A and B are shown apart, each in its own frame.
Chain A
Amino acid sequence: MGIQDLFQNIIDMNWELFPKQLAMWVIGGVLIFLAIKKKMEPTLLLPMGFGAILMNIPNNSGAAGVSEILETLYKAGIANELFPLILFIGIGAMIDFGPILSNPKLMIFGAAAQFGIFMTLSLASLFFDLPEAASIAIIGAADGPTSIVVAGELAPHLLGPITVAAYSYMALVPVVQPPVIKAITSKKERRIRMEYKPGSVSKFARIMFPIIVTVIVGLVAPGAVALIGFLMFGNLIRECGVLDSLSETAQKVLANLVTLFLGITVAFTMKAEAFINWGTILILGLGLFAFIFDTFGGVMIAKFMNLFLPEGKKINPMIGAAGISAFPMSARIVNKIGLEEDNQNFLLVHSIGANVSGQVASVIAGGLILSFFA
């Protein structure tokens, strides 16, 4: 045994691949920086960033190598979509659907704000097969678990860049949405005030809503049953009123535990040779396109509705932009822009409703995509 045995790993490295692995270390570092310093989706970006570094340390495979361990976790929770679906139970338990139950027409904005998904599907179909294009397009759902489930089913080899894009753009919504909103609305439209009539929602409605939504969505898009079912199961636990401890467990312990595993396991797909290429750059670009056209779709439907509404009853088009599923950031951004234009125009009560509806609509979109291509 000689001194060189201590550095055998460095001697045996694939030096052609090392620059790409180094680039992945930088990318991992950037994700960690964004998570800690900028507080951008830290629950996912930090584990993904660290996992990207782990997976790209040369010659890391072996009997108990990190590749094998992450592969075990990947097969246990990502390849079979278990982790994102369980996470959806926690997310469902966190969501209060009261705003859309008291004002159901806000759901139309959630539906319209999924426009970016299908626009991106068309654009991506120029360069990728349709299932791959659909997986990339689902970035526009602005929903991590939905993106992971759809990409895992249709194009698992693209899971890494798709997940990075989805979570990064969700965190970048405060940067992406305002310029788009201001570009397609006039100052007069942004200053529209909307009347708020608070309505009570019965407990019966709160309990029946998750059941009815699951059945309706499941009948139309069977591919969405798992997604919508787990989301609404979590919500039913919350709303039934007799499972407070389970609801609290789902919201906190379960969601945190699964998120912990999900983030680092997704990094299994971030090997340098698969991640560092023009395809990843293209996917990131298409993801941005999806978010831009989600915003566009939501605003446009509001402007379309305003053509038929009388003065005094018009909708502030920015509410449509809140239909994207990035909750609650998108709602807060719309409220903030509204206050910038008119410091007495509080849009949060309306934008929260649209934002919540986006959660449901994004799952419906994911289910339809699975129904079309799986």
Chain B
Amino acid sequence: MNSARLIGIVGTYGVVVALAALVLFGFLRYERFLGFFNVMSVLRYNSMFALVALGMCFVIMTGGIDLSVGSVAALGSVASALASPHGIAAGVAAGVGAGLAAGLINALLVTRANLMPFIATLATMLAASGSALLLAGNQSVSVSYDSGFTAIGQGNFWIFPIPAVIALVAYVVGSVVLNYTSTGRTVLAIGGGEDASRLMGLRTDRIKFLVYVASGCLAGLAGVVLASQFGAGQPIEGVGWELSAIAAVVVGGTLLTGGSGSVMTTLAGVLLLGILFNILNFENGLGWISLSAYWQSVIRGLFLLVVVLLQARLTGRRGSWPATTSGP
């Protein structure tokens, strides 16, 4: 095993090991860290970010980027809050529909107008944010508590928070699509070399179109969860979500240049960044030292730096980032 391969393995599974270490640390240090309540609330809260990061993961694997996810989630939350009096289905449909619309705009700008993904999704980000504020009339929109809409964010499926279940299902589906369908493999091939993929006869534009649409829909769904969980559609929420999602994806071992990545380690990336925050809370609760919650951004940044430097070391020479590239 050469060193490049070793770094590749560290890069791919390091996040899982780091997550396990962090959980173990928390378990040994804080009495209620692995308590039912804490675990469930961490999962419930982070599922929105997980949904957004899943879409981002697919976009990044094609070598693109989607800066609009945060404001699309805000738009989705407003749309679903407005539709919530008509029932769960209406709320979900409105939120996901808003995300779908934004995703379609991104997809068209990138594949038809040939705009750089960065700029295309930046424009959509502003437009979605503006639309959210317009729809909501510049304030948060409370959801209907009578229609049962809040169950999506606040309810449980057996003992598990529904948003966490939704996110888990989305990740399982995402993982199957990535690993067991030609669509998924094409996503990775495009990111690894768009021209080569085209020469191989793969339908690159169609797949790129799909990932932006999917990212929009997932962001919309995250918005539905947001509205339902906090009881209100929040037009100004979602600022900076896109970059946290990018960070989670990268920490999860997906190459930012595309071509290599994994859905499940992205989930680990989301949880890792989420648990850092949780641990900071516990640490302060112990009262021995007082670490401000703001350390989490600093630590997130450091994580990102380490991963990015590792990736740069690898892609700088011949060698492989991923330890394995295909399914079982």
Does A associate with B in a complex? Answer: no
The residues of B with any CB-CB pair to A shorter than 8 Å are none
